[in-house]
Chain A
C-alpha cells in the first residue's frame, strides 16, 4: 500500500481557483484561448503556489508568504482613465500606459514610425494563431506555476511590433498606472517582437502605486530578431510593504543581435523577478543587470535562467544588492550551455552589501556546461562596506555618514551608468539618491 500525501490547498490557492472560475467567461480571447487558459490554470492548480521544495523558489516560499489572493482588478472606467490624463501629460513620451493592467490608448502616444501596438485583449479576441502559439509556448517553456497562472488570468497587455530595420532614437516607455480603490490583483502579459536589424529601447516604469496594496503578476516576452539592437530598463519602485509583485521576463535573442537590460528594485514589498534568457542564434551579445535596494522587511528575489543554444554568444549577468534592516535579498542564476553552443562566453556576478545584522542575502549561482570549448565563470560576494575605502574618504574630510552614502551610491550607480541613455541614467540615479536620502535619517 502506498500513501500519497496531497497537501491541502491554502486559502490563497482556493481564492485563486474561485477567481478563475468567476472570471473565465469574461476574460478576453477566442474559444481556443479559453481552452489554453483552462489548461494553464490546471497546470497551476496541479503545482500549487511555489514553495521552498521547488528549487527555483527555495528562498521565496510563496505558499507561505502569500497569505491571501486579492480579487481581480475591475476594468477601469472611462472616468477613472480620464482622471489620469493631466498626470499622463507629464510622463515621458512616446509612451504606452496600462491602467490596472489594461491598455489605455487615450493616455498613450505618439507612436513612432515602424512601431505598431495592439492591446493583448484585442489580439486574443482576434485569435491570431502565431501569437496564440507564441504565448502558449512561452508559458510551457517557463514551466513555472506563476507563469501558468498568468497565462490563465491575463487580462490585457501590449503586443508591440517593431518593423525590421526600424531605428528609434528615443526610448518607448511602458507606464503601469493604478486606479482601483480597493486592494486588487492584476495580470498583464505583453509581447515585444523586434524585427531584423531594428534598434529599439524600451523603458518600464510605474505611476501612482504609492499607498495601494496590490498583487501584480506581469509577463513580458521579448523576441529579438537577428542583428537587432535592443535595450530595456525597468524601474520597480514604490509599492506598499504588503504588496506582491511578480515579474517574468522571457527573452529570445536572434543571431548577431545585441540585447541589454537593467532593472532597479527599490521600496517594494515582496518582489520576484524571474528572467528566462535564450540565445538561439549565433554570435549574439546580451547583458542583464540589476540593482536591488532593500530595507524594512522587504524581500526581493531575482532568479535567472540563461540558456546558450547557439554558438559564439556572449552573456553578461551582473546584479547588486544593498540590504538594510531586516531585508532579504535573493539571487539565483543558472547558466546552461548546450552541447552545440561552442565558444560561449558567459559570466555572472552577484554582489551584496549587507548593512545590518538582521538582513539576509541568499546567493546561488550555477553553471551547467555541456559544450567543451567555452569560457564561463561566476562569482558572488556578500559583505559590508570596505573599511579601507571608508577611511580613505574620511581622511580626505568626509564625515563617516557622507563617506558611507557616497560609497553606497557609487555601488549602485556603477550599473546604472551602463544604461546607455543620458535621460534614463539621470532618472534612475535620482531613484537611487532618493532611496539613500531615506536612509540618512536611520
Chain B
C-alpha cells in the first residue's frame, strides 16, 4: 500500500505540492487527472526520487516505510517503478545491456543472486512478446531514434520486465496512436494482480477506457481536490477542469 501524507514540495521559492494526501491500496489502479500545471508530474517524480525537488514536509510510505529517505535505486529495489512522460535516450547502451544491468542491480540490492543468461533471456522474451517489441529493437541503444510512441512502449516493456510492486504511469497515453495505446493498456492490464498497484496520471479520459481505474482523483493547485470512482473521469471529460481551476484561483 502507498500512502502520501501531508506532502509539500517546492522548487526554489515555488511551492508545487501543498499538503497533499493520497492512498492507493494493494491491487488498486488509481488515476490522477488534472489540468496542466496542477503538480501531477511533480508528484510522480517526488515518489520516484528525482533530486531537483525539495520536500518541505510530509511522507511517502510504501508498505509503511518512508521512501523519501531512500535513493532512487533503493526505491526501485523496493518495487517502485516510474514510466516517464518523456523516456530518456541513453546513446551507446543497448536495451539488452541496460535491462541486464538494472535487473542485476535490483537483485543484488535485494540480496538475490544474479539471473543466469538463459533465465534472463526467457524473461526478456516473455515481456517483449506482451508489448509486441521486436528483438532488433532490443539490440539498439535505449530509446535512441525511437518515435514517441515506441519510447512509451519501451518504458511499459521495462515495467513488465522488472515486475514492480507499485508502478506510476506519467502521461503514458500522450503521443500514442490508438493501436499503440491498446498494446500498452493490454500490457498494463496483464500485470494487474491483487498485490500490485498502479498510479495512472493522465490529462485525458481516453486512457481510462482501456485501463479501467478503481479510483479517480482530481488534482488542482498541488492538492487532491476530489476523489471518486471511475465515473468521475467521464464527468471531467464532459465538464473539463474549469470548476476546479476557478475554485483554486478563488
**Chain A residues engaging chain B, CB cutoff 8 angstroms:** 386-389, 391-400, 402-403, 406-407, 409-411, 413-414, 417
Which one of A386, A387, A399 has the highest number of Cβ atoms from chain B below 10 Å of its Cβ?
A399
Interface residues of B in 70-111 (CB under 8 A from A): 71-73, 75-77, 81-82, 84, 87-93, 98, 101-103, 105-106, 109
Alpha-carbon distance between A403 and B158 when the two chains are bound, in angstroms: 17
Cα distance A312–B195 when bound, in Å?
64
The segment from B48-56, B58-66, B124-132, B212-220 that touches chain A is B48-56
Answer whether A395 and B92 are a contact pair too, CB < 8 Å, given A387-B51, A402-B101.
no
Does B162 reach chain A (CB closer than 8 Å)? yes
Known: A398-B102, A398-B105, A399-B73. A393 touches B90 (CB 8 A): yes
> B189-221, CB under 8 A of A: which get 1 and which 0?
000000000000000000000000000000000
Mask, B177-188, CB within 8 Å of A = 1, is 000000000000
Question: Would A411 and B92 count as touching, CB distance under 8 A?
Answer: yes
Encoded as 1 (CB less than 8 Å from any A CB) or 0, chain B from 159 to 173 comes to 000100000000000
- Could you name 19 residue pairs across A and B whose Cβ atoms are closer than 8 Å? A391-B51, A392-B84, A392-B87, A393-B90, A393-B98, A393-B102, A395-B50, A395-B75, A395-B82, A396-B102, A397-B109, A400-B71, A400-B73, A403-B73, A406-B98, A410-B90, A410-B91, A410-B92, A414-B91
How far, in Å, is B138 (CB) from chain A's closest CB?
15
Assuming A402-B101, A402-B105, A410-B93, is B72 touching A394 (CB within 8 A)?
Answer: yes
B158 contacts A396, CB within 8 Å?
Answer: yes
Could you say which residues of chain B place their CB within 8 Å of the CB of A406?
Answer: 93, 98, 101
State A392–B86 Cα separation when bound (angstroms): 10
Q: In the complex the two chains form, is B105's CB within 8 Å of A388's CB?
A: no
Nearest chain A residue, comparing its CB with the CB of B110: A397
- Closest residue to B52 on the A side, CB-wise? A387
CB distance from A245 to the nearest CB of B (A): 27
* Contact present for A391 and B73 (CB under 8 Å): no
Contacts of B81 in A (CB 8 A): 395
Whether B72 pairs with A407 at a CB distance below 8 angstroms is no
- Of all A-B residue pairs in the complex, the 4 with the closest CB atoms, nearest first, are A410-B92, A397-B76, A394-B72, A397-B106
CA distance A406 to B96 in the complex (A): 13
Q: A391-B50, A391-B72, A392-B84 are in contact. Are A397 and B102 (CB under 8 A)?
A: yes
Asked if residues A395 and B76 are in contact (CB atoms below 8 Å), the reply is yes
Given the interface contacts A394-B49, A396-B102, A397-B109, does A407 sit within 8 Å of B71 by beta carbon?
no
User: Which residues of the other chain, A, contact B141 by a CB distance below 8 angstroms?
Assistant: 410
Give the Cβ gap from B7 to chain A, nearest Cβ, in Å: 18
- A398 near B88: Cβ-Cβ < 8 Å: no
Determine the chain A residues whose CB is within 8 A of the CB of B51 once the complex forms. Answer: 387, 391
CA distance in complex: A140, B174 (Å): 62
Q: Measured between alpha carbons, how far is A413 from B90 in the docked complex, in Å? A: 12
Minimum distance in angstroms from B198 CB to a CB of chain A: 16
Q: In the complex, what distance in Å separates the CA atom of A50 from the CA atom of B49?
A: 52
Asked if A398 contacts B73 (CB within 8 A), the reply is: yes
Q: Which A residues lie within 8 Å of B50 (CB)?
A: 391, 395
Report yes or no: A397 in contact with B105, Cβ–Cβ below 8 A.
Answer: yes
**Cβ A392 vs Cβ B101 within 8 A:** no
Write the nearest CB–CB distance from A433 to chain B, whole angstroms: 13
For B84, what are the chain A residues with a Cβ–Cβ distance below 8 Å? Answer: 392
Residues of A within 8 A of B105 (CB): 397-399, 402
What's the least CB distance linking A379 to chain B, in Å?
Answer: 15
Q: Considering only CB atoms, which chain B residue lies closest to A391 in the complex? A: B50
Q: How far is the CB of A291 from chain B (nearest CB, A)?
A: 11
Q: Are A399 and B71 in contact (CB under 8 A)?
A: yes
In the complex formed, the residue of B with least CB distance to A398 is B105
- The CB with the most chain B CB atoms within 10 A, among A387, A400, A402, A410, is that of A410
Give chain B nearest CB distance to A418 CB in angstroms: 11
Complex Cα distance, B72 from A403, in Å, reads 11
Distance in angstroms from A150 CB to nearest chain B CB is 36
Question: Quick check: A398 and B48 within 8 Å, CB to CB?
Answer: no
Task: Choose from A395, A411, A413 the contact partner of B49 (Cβ within 8 Å).
Answer: A395
Chain B 27-50, CB-CB to A under 8 Å as 1, else 0, gives 000000000000000000000111
Instruction: Collect the chain A residues with CB atoms within 8 Å of residue B91's CB.
Output: 410-411, 414
Complex Cα gap A395–B51 (Å): 11
Q: A403-B73, A411-B92, A414-B92 are in contact. List 15 more A-B contacts (CB 8 A).
A: A387-B51, A391-B51, A392-B84, A395-B76, A395-B81, A396-B98, A397-B76, A397-B102, A397-B103, A398-B102, A398-B105, A406-B93, A410-B90, A414-B91, A417-B92
* Measured CA separation A33–B62 after assembly (Å): 80
Cβ contact of A394, chosen from B76, B89, B93, B98, cutoff 8 A: B76
| Nearest-CB residue, chain A, relative to B159 | A396
| B162 in complex: contacting residue of A397, A400, A413, CB < 8 Å | A397
Distance (whole angstroms) from the CB of A320 to the closest CB of chain B:
10
- Separation of A388 and B52 alpha carbons in the complex (Å): 10
A412 → chain B closest CB, angstroms: 8
How many Å lie between the Cα of A414 and that of B89 in the bound state? 14
Query: A389, A409, A410, A411: which contacts B88 (Cβ < 8 A)?
Result: A389
Give B63 Cβ to nearest chain A Cβ, in Å: 18
What is the distance, in angstroms, from B74's C-beta to the closest C-beta of chain A?
Answer: 8
Q: Determine how close the nearest CB of chain B comes to the CB of A416; give it in whole angstroms.
A: 9
Q: Kindly provide the distance from the CB of B250 to the nearest chain A CB, expressed in whole angstroms.
A: 37
Q: Give Cα A157 to B241, complex, Å.
A: 78
Chain A: minimal CB distance from B111 (Å): 14
Q: Check if A398 sits within 8 Å of B101, measured CB to CB.
A: yes
Q: Give the CA-CA distance A394 to B72 in the complex, in Å.
A: 6
B158 surroundings in chain A (CB, below 8 A)? 396
A240 to B90, CA, bound (A): 34
Q: Is the pair B90, A395 in contact by a Cβ cutoff of 8 Å?
A: no
Residue of B nearest to A399 (CB): B73
> Which chain A residues lie closer than 8 Å to B71 at the CB level?
394, 399-400
